Chain A
């Protein structure tokens, strides 16, 4: 039994896993850890270099994609399971394994991928940029956002922001890692505290005006809202403080509509287009 301590990153796991696989180490002979307390024991990145070149083991690319995504999950069991699946797919002779959604290991990996995918999707949805200034030299607007992902997804999530917001400078701050874009280059820095980010924007009021008015009080479906926008996100959403009030007053607003006197139809005003329309409708009537 050996213990492998890796940095909590896909690349670190992959380097270690390739090394172990080349030595034909069975999954149950390895204990995996990414405990930062044991950082001094991290497997060196030189492992990759030591890879015996002749031992090219073919791994389905679908597995590598899934592994990259599952690696971003925070479950400490993921490194061991990823290695076991890798072993089964290759030396274990189960090349078809990924087709078996009914397999316990595959199912677990899919669950992690799904959780990570959802976390990325919610980050794309719920990041709120706040304008902090305009670059004096380039004239580019500069925005900062704060987000708290459940998993280590910043690097997986930011290519989307780079494509969408290429024309502005932005930083997305999170507790474990921050991403920055200046129009040319994406770079990453250490995580920061929530207090480093601005907590409002001059446009937030206008956004709340929109949110309040696009809501239809006659069809309240609170659970549908919460399943897609769980409460844990609310503290960073400028529109969320409106929710309780909108729900509370909805029944009364609907009663108001029902109590309102029905209005008679108004005759058509004199308008050439409307007249032509009415003529067309009459001509087409059977």
Chain B
């Protein structure tokens, strides 16, 4: 099999992994070396495919042969897909060739499980070792690790990689039992815990004054959860994500709408990918990480799924309208963060500007805020909205998109963004 054919098969096999981030690595570069590569700072998306996803890394599998039988996965052993396998040198050469042309800024290497977890890990690590040690490659490397691999191998992977990840795939063991019978949530979390310890150890070493520079170790770990393959609610998904963020300090949890694969399983029939739900989960994830929201505020036991029609912050504000309007000239920062239509950056701008001036609507317009969304929720020096005493349906209706946008099918337009909803709002505030 030639390299083009292998690349076709092993890129196709890798595309269901949503992660492509290349940010947050330790700063390093190729100056003074014969190699290429640099990391640090924010990642670069070198291209975009028509699915709207960024291409920053060469994302391939070492092999798509796999012992496991995960029913959402094109590569499961029951699938009839054509199998291929790269040699370590082939992946090394592809990475370097692509990198030197500035097509990519690194490698994201994963693999089907062959023979055993350790054997598979060794194959993946060998590619990273060759890149780092033989070719002095200083670009980004993300290695997928297997929770059952030995700790020594995971430690070795972390030495060469900027990021390592283990996909939890499902937020509950019950979901895994049905759809991924070889996978185990407890073992995955245990492995994440060990990785977190190693990441923490290195940071602690780094902070010691006058200590020798510690050997490199990945600066973060991430994971992916499938959305819509099992029956988990958004509350369960976000609860799992929140646990991973707090217990194992993951950098990112990716949510991946279960999307049709060419080799469907009888256990998991295909359906349209729930793209809007995925979008809302990402928005909710942002609220957890940057806006100090608690999972229960976004998705509770009573209402366990996110409102698909409204972004979760707006939905929260409508449920908690007694909190509003908020005075942008006086309210504490954490309250400003709760105002629909106000992001972290603009909250900072408001906090910094209001030390010198009393903010008026014209000031907010100059910040290019979404005024129609904001107006019912804020007080400024020259604006005081009527109390949000409207009955719940009519206030909610102001922010709803036209009904046809909610239909979800394969020809559906991209998930609506908040600003799409504003154009339909009517009436003076």
Q: A129 — which chain B residues lie within 8 A by C-beta?
A: 100-102
Q: A206-B94, A213-B11, A214-B11 are in contact. Are A222 and B260 (CB under 8 A)?
A: no
Bin the interface of chain A by size. 35 or more
CA of A226 to CA of B57, assembled, Å: 19
Tell me if B414 and A222 are in contact (CB < 8 A). yes
When A129-B100, A168-B36 are in contact, do A218 and B50 touch as well, CB less than 8 Å? no
Which partner residue on chain A sits nearest B71 by CB separation?
Answer: A265
Q: How far is the CA of A166 from the CA of B136 in the complex (A)?
A: 11
Assembled-state Cα–Cα distance A104/B148 (Å) = 58
Interface residues of A in 229-266 (CB under 8 A from B): 229, 237, 239, 243, 246-247, 250-251, 254, 256-258, 260, 262-266
Binds B, one of A22-30, A33-41, A268-276: A268-276
Instruction: Find residues 324-344 in chain B having any chain A CB closer than 8 Å to their own CB.
Output: none
Chain A CB within 8 A of B386 CB? no
Which A residues touch B67, using CB under 8 A? 268-269, 271, 273-274
Chain A nearest CB: distance from B338 CB in Å? 20
User: Given A128-B101, A214-B14: A164 and B58 within 8 A (CB)?
Assistant: no
On whether the beta carbons of A266 and B414 are closer than 8 Å, the reply is: no
Contacts A126-B46, A201-B101, A229-B47 given: A102-B264 contact, CB under 8 Å?
no
Q: Chain A residue with minimal CB distance to B364?
A: A102
Contact with A along B352-365 (1 / 0, CB 8 A): 11011101000110
Q: For window 184-242 of chain A, which residues contact chain B by CB distance below 8 Å? A: 201, 203, 205-207, 209-225, 228-229, 237, 239
A215 touches B49 (CB 8 A): yes
Partner of B273, one of A101, A162, A219, A274: A219
A216 pairs with B51, CB closer than 8 A: yes
Q: Which of B229-265 contact A (CB under 8 A)?
A: 257, 259-265
Partner among A96, A104, A219, A258 whose Cβ is within 8 Å of the Cβ of B275: A219
Bound complex: CA of A264 vs CA of B263, how far in Å? 10
In A121-167, which residues have CB < 8 Å from any B CB? 121, 124-131, 141, 143, 145, 160, 162-167
CB-contact partner of B366 in A107, A218, A273, under 8 A? A107
Interface pair B101/A222, CB less than 8 Å apart: no
Closest to B182 in A: A277
Complex CA–CA separation, A206 to B364 (angstroms): 49
Question: For the complex, what is the distance from the CA of A265 to the CA of B48, rounded to whole Å?
Answer: 35
* Residues A277 and B273 in contact in the complex (CB < 8 Å), given A206-B94, A225-B52: no
Is A239's CB under 8 angstroms from B47's CB?
A: yes
* Known A100-B353, A129-B101, A223-B414; contact A260-B263, beta-carbon cutoff 8 A: yes
Task: Answer yes or no: B8 CB below 8 A from chain A CBs.
Answer: yes
**Residue of A100, A129, A165, A216 with most chain B CB atoms under a 10 A cut-off:** A216
Are the CB atoms of A213 and B50 closer together than 8 Å? Answer: no
* Whole-angstrom distance between the Cβ of A39 and the nearest chain B Cβ: 35
- Of the listed stretches B24-32, B152-160, B191-199, B399-407, chain A binds B24-32
A281 proximity list for chain B (CB < 8 A): 181-182, 184
A203 to B96 CA separation, bound complex (whole angstroms): 11
The reply to whether B115 and A273 form a contact with Cβ atoms under 8 Å apart is: yes
Measured between beta carbons, the chain A residues less than 8 angstroms from B94 are: 206
Contacts of A247 in B (CB 8 A): 50
| Residues in A61-114 with C-beta less than 8 Å from chain B | 96, 99-104, 107
Spot the interface stretch: B74-82, B123-131, B286-294, B370-378. B74-82
A219/B259 in contact, CB under 8 A: yes
- Closest Cβ–Cβ distance, residue A263 to chain B (whole Å): 6
Residue of B nearest to A244 (CB): B50
**Cβ-defined contact, A265 with B69, below 8 A:** yes
Task: Kindly state the separation between the CA atoms of A268 and B76 in the bound complex, as whole angstroms.
Answer: 11
Q: Which residues of B are found within 8 Å of A273, using beta-carbon distances?
A: 67, 115-117
Min CB distance A20 to B, Å, is 26
CB-CB under 8 A from A207, the residues of chain B are 98, 101, 103
Chain A nearest CB from B133 CB (Å) reads 15
Is A46 interfacial (CB-CB < 8 Å)? no
**Contact in complex: A269, B77 (CB < 8 Å):** yes
Query: B residues engaging A (CB < 8 A)?
Result: 3-4, 7-9, 11-12, 14-16, 29-38, 44-55, 58-59, 67, 69, 71, 77-80, 94, 97-98, 100-103, 115-117, 136, 139, 148, 181-182, 184, 186-187, 257, 259-267, 269-270, 272-273, 275, 349, 352-353, 355-357, 359, 363-364, 366-367, 410-411, 413-415
Q: List 25 A-B contacts (CB under 8 A).
A: A100-B353, A125-B45, A130-B101, A162-B31, A165-B100, A206-B3, A206-B98, A207-B103, A210-B11, A210-B58, A210-B98, A213-B7, A214-B14, A219-B52, A225-B48, A225-B49, A225-B51, A239-B47, A263-B266, A265-B69, A265-B71, A271-B67, A271-B115, A273-B115, A274-B182
Give residues in A with beta carbon < 8 Å to B. Answer: 96, 99-104, 107, 121, 124-131, 141, 143, 145, 160, 162-168, 201, 203, 205-207, 209-225, 228-229, 237, 239, 243, 246-247, 250-251, 254, 256-258, 260, 262-266, 268-269, 271-274, 277-278, 280-281, 284
Can you list the 10 inter-chain pairs with the closest CB atoms, starting with the nearest? A224-B52, A221-B52, A102-B363, A163-B29, A273-B116, A101-B349, A213-B11, A215-B49, A266-B78, A166-B30
